[in-house]
Structure 1
Amino acid sequence: MLIVNPFATSTTEAGRDALLHTLSASLRRPEDGAGEMAETKRSGARPQYVDVRVEHTTHRGHAGELAALARAERYDVVVVHGGDGSVNEVVNGLLDPPSVPESGMPSPALAVVPGGSANVFARALGIDPDPLKATGQLVDLLATGQRRRVSLGHTNNRWFLFNAGVGVDAQVVKSIDEQRTAGHRATATRYLWTAVRTFMGAARSKPTLTVTIPGREPLGGAHFAFVSNASPWTYLGTRPIETNPDTSFDSRLGVFASTSMAPIRNLPLARQLLSSKAKPHAKHLLRADDVASVEIRSSEPIDMQMDGEYLGTRTVLEFGCRPAVLEVISPKS
């Protein structure tokens, strides 16, 4: 099944047609007729290629509904063409919620053809950010049977792929959403200036967060906290931003929290985050990698985002992770 978000930032009708044509032509069996396309359903050790079933999302949550249908109908692979928000929806449709014991019911493998503005999950897996190049890469990966299993983080009974955060990053996401609603494109420059403006505006705000990691003293007086399931945390154009460079899809969670919003203290930290050999450190910073769980409490409702999607305000969030829970079509490392 191919799930397409036609409203994603970098998708076009021509690009979607090219994607479908490439997949259908490349995955067709030699004996298939010229007009047939390829769809994969679960069958033993290797998939059998038949017709590609294409579904376009029409509303929020629709990608998750389609993914759940693909699982119920025992598809072998679900390809999603959209941004990180669409991929998050698909994953939460493919898998049981974190609070539900594993049922043993198999889930389709996930493949991603980037279609958003950042495409953090796909790029962190080694998928080319260009949709046409990624399509060719996907065909090769399917042909050679390259798959791997990755860990996922979870909170609020929902899976997240690469990051979740409370505070300033969620405020940036909220502002970008409002700007997109007003008709502005979500470019790297817009993200940068929105982040700078939001950070400066929050410089005098009071801290409300307490961050607790098992085996450590709780950190009070934090202004914001990020929880990572992979590295990088995000991208600024082509440049990766790494808050927890030692966190990966094969490890547990990374935590990054700050007790200061003062620009003079955070400018050196910003330079570290942009470094190609990032190892962020500062006296006002908590950074931990490979942690099994983390609890974040706020004395008042605070903005929250997950995989670049604004989810409103929260006062308590408990984060955990589950190893090797999702099968993906990607390079093996």
Structure 2
Amino acid sequence: MRALLVVNPAATTTSARTRDVLAHALASDLKLEVAQTEYRGHARDLARRAAESGETELVVALGGDGTVNEVVNGLLTHGPAPEALPRLAVVPGGSTNVFARALGLPNDAVEATGALLDALRDGSERTVGLGLAAGTPDTQDEMIPKRWFTFCAGFGFDAGVVGRVEQQRERGKRSTHALYVRQVMRQFLGEPNRRHGTITLEHPGAEPGSTEVIDDLVLSIICNTAPWTYLGNRPVYPSPQASFDTALDVFALTRLSTPAVARYATQLLASTPDRGPRGKHAVSLHDQTDFTLHSQVPLPFQMDGDHLGLRSSVTFTGVRRALRVIV
């Protein structure tokens, strides 16, 4: 099988020696080409060229969730065509590795490589659904090109946290869970709209052709799978029913006052695959194929943990059976 290994040399938890060992192990079973990323977006370009060549059967992403996101967007440059596109495999090398862990893969690069080789020998794969989003920057009318995401997107508060973390990483800070917790507190203290949200959610109503509107949201998290993220080894489930086999789930809050934050943060930390946060300020929607989030003011937007700047409107689509993945 002809395969491309896309390596992010800056991956948080993978050393150069480990990468060499993993490439050697994969090359024993595959006709392997290895390419290291050199700039932001390079993984996307490498995967696009592999898909367009028609010769590559498998693309392996070695890195964190950002690397995986770029590879997925490269593979799906011309849209989903599961039977025609190369399959995707993931070897986790980031700090959290949500997509890989949600697929049930080990969170260790060496163990994940062994599991990948076993899956290839057994012909084990699944076809997963993905999220697709397009946003309007600030208050302009021009739409930003659509982009795929594998496990989550966020509009508002949580995207602001992601942006703060990225700023700290650019200053040389390591991506740790403690860093995220600190930035959550700073985002909360600096949030001007935590009592009266500016986000409106529009989604199809129960009657054909109708639209339902939910106003005054402060926080909105869009999940393509569960869990949403991990705090160390603890999974967090704002939308426990979210799945790679359905469309998208939405979890939103209409208030971020101190009592509300304490209540819902406690529920999130105690969430399970059977029970997520609940309450009068919580909004939960399951298996949504198409919906739009608008804001009265431009808000931060993130996809798969990658901060994408400010948006005034984002349209989401849940696409079932979009890509084949080795598991």
What 5-or-longer segments of structure 2 have no aligned partner? 135-145, 206-210
Residues 7 and 146 (structure 1), Cα distance of their counterparts in 2 relative to 1, 3 Å cut:
same
Aligned residues of 2:82 and 2:322 also touching (Cα < 8 A): no
Taking structure 2 as the reference length, what is the TM-score of the superposition?
A: 0.89
Cα deviations across residues 30-71 of structure 1 (Å, max 9, x unaligned)? Answer: xxxxxxxx32xxxxxxxxxxxx10000000111011001111
Separation in 2, partners of 1:23, 1:14? 14
Among 293, 296, 299, which residue is 2:293 paired with? 296
Structure 2 letter corresponding to 1:221: D
Instruction: Find the residue that maps to 1:217 and give its secondary structure.
Output: strand
Taking structure 1 as the reference length, what is the TM-score of the superposition?
A: 0.88
Separation in 1, partners of 2:204, 2:26? 46
Separation in 1, partners of 2:61, 2:233? 22
Among 157, 161, 180, which residue is 2:150 paired with? 161
Structure 2 letter corresponding to 1:273: L
Q: Tell me the CA shift for residue 212 of structure 1.
A: 1.4
Structure 2 letter corresponding to 1:63: A
Q: Tell me the CA shift for residue 204 of structure 1.
A: 5.4
1:168-317 pair list within 5 angstroms: 168-202=157-191, 205=194, 206-215=196-205, 217-277=212-272, 278-317=275-314
Aligned counterpart, 1:128: 106
- After the TM superposition, which of the residue ranges 319-328 and 260-269 deviates more from structure 2? 260-269
Percentage identity across paired residues of the two chains: 43
What 5-or-longer segments of structure 1 have no aligned partner? 28-37, 40-51
User: Does residue 15 of the first structure (1) align with residue 18 of the second (2)?
Assistant: yes
Q: Which has the higher strand share?
A: 2
Aligned counterpart, 1:33: none
Aligned residues of 2:82 and 2:324 also touching (Cα < 8 A): no
Instruction: Find the residue that maps to 2:105 and give its secondary structure.
Output: coil
Aligned residues of 2:82 and 2:321 also touching (Cα < 8 A): no
Q: Tell me the CA shift for residue 97 of structure 1.
A: 4.8
Separation in 2, partners of 1:200, 1:249? 34
Q: How many residue pairs end up in the alignment? A: 304
Q: Tell me the CA shift for residue 266 of structure 1.
A: 2.4
User: Does residue 71 of the first structure (1) align with residue 51 of the second (2)?
Assistant: yes
Structure 1 letter corresponding to 2:163: K
Cα deviations across residues 287-307 of structure 1 (Å, max 9, x unaligned)? Answer: 111111221001111100000
User: Does residue 111 of the first structure (1) align with residue 114 of the second (2)?
Assistant: no
Aligned residues of 1:97 and 1:158 also touching (Cα < 8 A): no
Q: CA RMSD in A?
A: 1.6
Q: Which has the higher contact order (CA 8 A, sep 6+)?
A: 2
Residues 204 and 317 (structure 1), Cα distance of their counterparts in 2 relative to 1, 3 Å cut:
closer
